[in-house]
Amino acid sequence: MMPGKHSIEDRASRLIADCPNVWDLTIPWVQMYWSIDLLKRYRRAGYTYASLTIQDMPATFEGVRRDIGEFRKLCIPHADWLCFAESAGDIDAARREGKLALGINVQDTELVHDDIGRLEILRDLGVRHMLLAYQVRNRAADGCAEPANGGLSLFGRQLVRRMNEAGIIVDGSHVGKRSSLDAIELSQTPVIFSHSGIKSVCDHIRNIDDEQIQACADAGGVIGIVGIGAFLGDPDASAATVFRHLDHVVQRVGPQHAGIGTDFIDDLAPVWKSIEESGGDAWHPHGPQRYEGVAFAPEQLKELVQIMISSGYDDAAIHGILGGNFRRVYDLVHESPTRSSQSAGSYGD
């Protein structure tokens, strides 16, 4: 006999409340979206950790340093419920105290430029994962919009190794297929896709295919499902559609390799208007990326958990998807960074 609606709702609420790690690995935090009220919504929805994207595009080294400093100041008046997490211990302490813990990600490596030592500075500032490239080609890798689909450059190969050493997670979202597969093969620690959709569910250039999913899982990585309706193939960004993408990963490689990275923006209209006016997507081989519709909101998390329950996911699988899987990678990379003997000056293998 199937459990009733109310019992499923109650179980979903308990699962979220009891889960030690409820993570969203991508929330844009560029200046036009700074909103303490949004972070309050994440806390009310049961999230315990959120990774904020600083200096979305174009990211610069000095800009990231400045914005992280400004963000830390912004948190100070809210220390009773909000904290900046420097370590796994900080994340755990925040949960015990009923606070939302925050980390930082950057969606490009171009800000490293020719000074790879900046990785250690970025790590010390709180950067925990970095996209190798954002849509287009940079010094390290091709982005997902590059028709050539080239792999990692010699510099990109060095960069992956140094990210391993620094304890920064290599992130394949927005990255070209070949570059992402190169990074997974080369990296000594798991590579993640922090916020990606599934290409077989929605054939969008931003999404990843089964070969990337399998390679990521085989190397111990995790795929965070994006929440933007345009990339889900559903302008309403419903929990049911997010589940379709999530379940594809689960059925393909197991629940231990699935997570959540919504890329949530409360109002997508200004994003599209800004891109349209700037012509910033004119290079897109499939035409401009429209951002009509909405994104999967923090308040929809409970509904997503209810769907997982109704679909037969057990508690351990759900807890892993909610954040335990990303936490596993976080602990492996940040708490025990690799120490390679590779010379910092060499671009070779």
Q: What does the pLDDT look like over 21-52, one tens digit per residue?
A: 999 999 998 766 678 999 999 999 999 999 99
* pLDDT number for residue 30: 72
Would 349 be classed as within a structural domain?
no
Helical (H) or strand (E) element with 106: strand 100-106
Give, rounded to a whole angstrom, the gap between the first and last alpha carbons of the chain: 58
On whether residue 40 sits in a domain, the answer given is yes
Residue 135 lies in a domain: yes
Distance CA 152, CA 90 (A): 34
Q: Which CATH number do you get for residue 276? A: 3.20.20.140
**Within a domain: 169:** yes
Both tokens of residue 116? 């790879």
CB 118 within 8 A of CB 344: no
The yes-or-no verdict on residue 17 having pLDDT over 80 is: yes
Domain count for the chain, please give it.
Answer: 1
Q: What count of other Cβ atoms lies within 10 Å of the Cβ of residue 210? A: 14
- High-pLDDT (> 70) share of the chain, %: 86
Q: Are 221 and 329 in contact (CB under 8 A)?
A: yes
Q: Report if residue 2 sits inside a domain.
A: no
Residues 6+ apart with CB under 8 A from 247: 311
Structural domain of residue 173, as residue ranges? 7-334
The 10s digit of each residue's pLDDT in 86-105 is: 899 999 999 999 999 999 99
- In a domain, residue 132? The reply is yes
In a domain, 348, yes or no: no
pLDDT of 84 strictly over 70:
yes
Structural domain contains residue 244: yes
Distance from chain centroid for Cα 223: 8
